[in-house]
Amino acid sequence: MIGRLGFRGRRCAAYAIALVLTVWVLHALQGELCVGAHGLPGNRLVSVHVDHPPVVDGILDRIWDEAPLACISLARHVPPGPETPEVELRSLYAADSVYFFASWHEARPAFAADTIRNRFVMHFDQQEPWPGARDVTCLVACHTAFSDASGDLAHVIAETIPQGVSDPLPAAGGWISGRWHLEWSRPLVNDNPFDVQFQDLDAGYPFFVKVFEWAEGQADPVSKDYALVFRQD
């Protein structure tokens, strides 16, 4: 797992302060307009409740029209550069699981055959699993997607610091005609004490995303801080 430069020290201090988030999304524009545009509040990914969850097959089915689209700009800081991908990210949740769909434009993968590399990560700050834990370690949880040299999705796993179990997540997708399409899910609450738990649907869960480009001499592009919030109708 690779965090952004200076992430651990900065994040561990920043999120020691309680984060209070409110959600305001214009229902009529859901699924069509990027959250943050035209006066809508930015820096949020809104997960919408559905009675029938999507099939995790890597296809942007019509059920995903229910999810507001968050267009997440990335930036490459070392060295700075204008050409970075924009990730389209959506989220839905059902009775006991949350679902994500990420898509962005990128050239065909170019690395050695028979190689599996990390391609994308959704990087969450964690709740404190025991009193004082934040004083001795940085607490993060990642959903990390790996692909092969052909652009096929190898797997998506949940990784944590401190190290818990690297749990495989239901996932599908890959690179098709110039775009990555990644779909995955995970339980809202699991039995890993080191992982982020989405048990309070009134809370906001801070995260950022990164696309791994594997470009020599360049840092991978990352997003600003966002928050996953749950809309309860």
pLDDT tens by residue, 33-56? 444 333 334 589 999 999 999 999
Give every CB contact of residue 191 below 8 A, 6+ residues apart in sequence. Answer: none
Cα 128 to Cα 13, 22, 100, 153, 217: the distances in Å are 13, 22, 24, 32, 35
Give the model's pLDDT for residue 84.
Answer: 75
User: What secondary structure letter does DSSP report for 106?
Assistant: -
Indicate if the pLDDT at residue 98 is higher than 50: yes
Q: Which two tokens stand for residue 81?
A: 């550069």
Residue 66: pLDDT above 80? yes
Of 3.40.50.300, 1.10.260.40, 2.40.50.140, 2.60.40.1190, the CATH number of 7-231 is 2.60.40.1190
- Give me the mean pLDDT over the 158-175 stretch: 83
Cα distance between residue 97 and residue 155, in whole Å = 18
- Its pTM stands at 0.78
| Exposure string for 111-131, b = 16+ CB within 10 A, e = fewer | eeeeeeebbbbbbbbbbebee
For position 5, what pLDDT does the model report? Answer: 36
